[in-house]
């Protein structure tokens, strides 16, 4: 697992690493909230805000990256198809 994360870093896949971190934080904090809720229900429910925020941030990161990539690819295609005037 660690070797695959290092490989992603070396391959300049920082966005993928960030997404993994968001979703790992979501899963870990969800588990912690569940364990805490066994002892103190209101505190466990309050801790559930952390995985919700991490999950939403991860999803928004994916959506924004997709939109940026779509716009950049459209601009590249437009520049390729534009006639060159020299």
The tokens 């991490």 sit on which residue? Answer: 54
Torsion, CA 18, CA 24, CA 28, CA 31, rounded to 10 = 130
Per-residue confidence band for 58, with pLDDT thresholds at 50, 70 and 90: confident
> pLDDT at position 85, please?
63
Q: Using one digit for the tens of pLDDT, what is the confidence trace for 29-51?
A: 889 989 999 999 999 888 888 88
Question: For 18-29, how does the pLDDT look when each residue is reduced to its tens digit (9 = 90+)?
Answer: 788 888 888 898
Higher pLDDT, 86 or 32: 32
Interatomic CA distance for residues 18 and 16, integer angstroms: 5
pLDDT reading at 3 higher than 70: yes
Catalogue the E-assigned strands of 1-86.
Answer: none
């Amino acid at each position: 697992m660690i070797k695959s994360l290092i490989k992603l870093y070396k391959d300049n896949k920082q966005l993928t690493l960030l997404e993994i971190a968001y979703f790992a934080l979501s899963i870990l904090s969800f588990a912690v909230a569940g364990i805490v809720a066994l002892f103190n229900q209101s505190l466990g429910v309050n801790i559930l805000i952390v995985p919700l925020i991490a999950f939403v941030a991860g999803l928004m990161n994916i959506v924004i990256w997709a939109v940026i990539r779509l716009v950049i690819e459209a601009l590249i295609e437009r520049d390729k198809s534009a006639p060159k005037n020299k």
